[in-house]
Chains A and B, each alone.
Chain A
Amino acid sequence: MSLQLDFPAVLERWPSFLAGAVLTLELAAFATVLGALLGTLAAVGRGTHNALIAGACKAYVETIRNTPLLVQIFLVYFGLASLGLKFSAFTVAVAALTINVGAYTAEIMRAGFEAIPRGQIEAAEGLALSRLQIYWHIILLPAIEKVYPALTSQFVLLMLASSVCSQISAEELTAVANYIQSDTYRAFETYIIVAVLYVILSLVMRAGFWGLGLVLFPRRRRLGTPL
């Protein structure tokens, strides 16, 4: 066994690694925003009295949570192709990741909604606020604040999961690694470097969400207490 590691040979490819990392973050950013919207809508849909909408939302969530992301990506990829629609690998990846994280977000948001005490909703009703206004002013922000740690963890997991998009030729970090290792014959060093880069990306994302939390939740920022 020849244990001759040559990190410098791989490290000099840092521009490619950087480009891959940037694309990974872009994928994660788009899917996070769109997935958060989709998941919140699905969580609201789960709570309606309309059995059809509530059932459809539940079916969406359970289907995504019980099938692998790789299968979902292929279904989106080949599904769009069979409809004759040609999209870039990036778009397909964002679509599949959005659908995936939307389901997990929906579950987390639903738990957040249910944690809002009934008394506050009654007080809002007593003040003649409409159902929509109650969701927007009374339920949404406090629910997000309650489940913020679980939500942000989910989005970091999403960034890690984006590595699977290498299988449909999206040029994110793992795809870059595959290319570089086949070019340099230094698979071990390449994947070690990429692993470290992903860990760094996770830390960057966590720091970003922590900062965002300070902006979104002024009460917490001022008083320093959880809701």
Chain B
Amino acid sequence: MQQNPSPSEPIVSLRDVKKSFGPLLVLDGVSFAVQRGEVLALIGRSGSGKSTALRCIDRFEKVDGGEIVVCGHRVDRPDVNLRALRQDVGIVFQSYNLFPHLTIEQNITLAPCAVKGVATAQAKDLARKVLAQVGLEEKLHAYPEQLSGGQQQRAAIARSLAMQPKVMLFDEVTSALDPELTAEVLRVIEQLAADGMTMVMVTHEMGFAKGIADRIVFMHRGKVHETGPASILTSPTTPELTQFVGTGNLKS
């Protein structure tokens, strides 16, 4: 059942979420919340569970215990309305996952037409608009393989934006990119944050996280070890975060 959250309630909230892959306990009682318009950065070592936690928000993993509420949807429940949830939540992946047999325009107009019943002409206008937002208007009729990695990722962001989600999830979206191409993607995300989009991102870009995140959640071995404003990166309080920040896990 979906209930529209009041302005003061968080738009995304995880409460005591548990998840195992077979015998491996990946999420061990994870709790955090995201307010409307907030930018949250999830950081941690590989294997800390941060990507799994992100994927649980959009139901790409089923949780074994705990509660997840996203835009009023009870994601932890088996009867959650996936179609409605995924119209409210947009997700961008590390490997962009653009559809190679469609042009960029077709990539973007596919979901609005097929899911929301938007008319083709309107969808094409929308495609032009979101591509302009990410700085790729001239690539409208190109195929993904004709674009660089950074351009493909920006196109993937535009594709998700076309569905006008209330929350955007970013799963290590610059990890597969060469350093020169990372900057253009980060600029787009920065602009989205400035425009007021609610975002949760898993990232290794500490400098970037420090710059635009309103709050940082540091995960370690499936638990939330520390959370707070960006300043926790410069003055960590727990030994695990101190070690993480100090050992060059960061690209600042």
In the complex, are there CB atoms of A and B closer than 8 Å?
yes
List A residues at the B interface (Cβ < 8 Å).
Answer: 117, 119-120, 122-130, 133, 137-138, 141-142, 145, 217, 219, 222-223, 225, 227
Query: Known contacts A128-B111, A129-B111; can you find 14 more A-B pairs with CB under 8 A?
Result: A120-B100, A122-B60, A123-B99, A123-B156, A125-B60, A126-B90, A126-B93, A127-B163, A128-B82, A128-B86, A128-B115, A128-B163, A129-B110, A129-B114
Q: Is the CB of A142 within 8 A of B159?
A: no
Can you spell out 24 A-B residue pairs with CB atoms less than 8 angstroms apart?
A120-B99, A122-B60, A122-B93, A123-B93, A123-B97, A123-B99, A126-B60, A126-B93, A127-B110, A127-B111, A127-B163, A128-B83, A128-B86, A128-B115, A129-B110, A129-B115, A130-B83, A130-B115, A133-B115, A219-B100, A219-B143, A222-B143, A225-B145, A227-B101
Q: Is the CB of A133 within 8 A of B114?
A: yes
B160 CB–A CB distance under 8 Å: yes
How many residues on B have C-beta within 8 angstroms of the other chain's C-beta atoms? 29
A127 to B86, CA, bound (A): 6
Q: Is the CB of A128 within 8 A of B100?
A: no
Given A126-B90, A128-B115, A129-B115, do A227 and B110 touch, yes or no (CB 8 Å)? Answer: no
Q: Is the CB of B110 within 8 A of A119?
A: no
| B88-121 contact mask (Cβ, 8 Å, vs A): 1 or 0 | 0111010101111100000000110011000000
A219 to B91, CA, bound (A): 26
A123: which B residues are within 8 A, CB to CB?
93, 97-99, 156
A131 to B31, CA, bound (A): 31
A68 to B172, CA, bound (A): 54
Given A119-B93, A120-B99, A122-B60, do A127 and B160 touch, yes or no (CB 8 Å)? Answer: yes
The residue of chain A having its C-beta at the shortest distance from the C-beta of B163 within the complex is A127
B58 CB–A CB distance under 8 Å: yes
B111: which A residues are within 8 A, CB to CB?
127-129
Shortest CB-to-CB span from A220 to chain B, Å, is: 9
The residue of chain B having its C-beta at the shortest distance from the C-beta of A223 within the complex is B143
Shortest CB-to-CB span from B101 to chain A, Å, is: 5
B87 CB–A CB distance under 8 Å: yes
| B121-164 contact mask (Cβ, 8 Å, vs A): 1 or 0 | 00000000000000000000001011000000000100110010
Given A125-B60, A219-B143, do A120 and B97 touch, yes or no (CB 8 Å)? Answer: yes
Q: Is the CB of B97 within 8 A of A122?
A: yes
Q: Is the CB of B101 within 8 A of A219?
A: yes
Given A126-B86, A127-B159, A223-B143, do A141 and B60 touch, yes or no (CB 8 Å)? Answer: no
Given A128-B82, A137-B110, A137-B114, do A227 and B91 touch, yes or no (CB 8 Å)? Answer: no
B143: which A residues are within 8 A, CB to CB?
219, 222-223
A219 to B99, CA, bound (A): 12
The residue of chain A having its C-beta at the shortest distance from the C-beta of B88 within the complex is A128
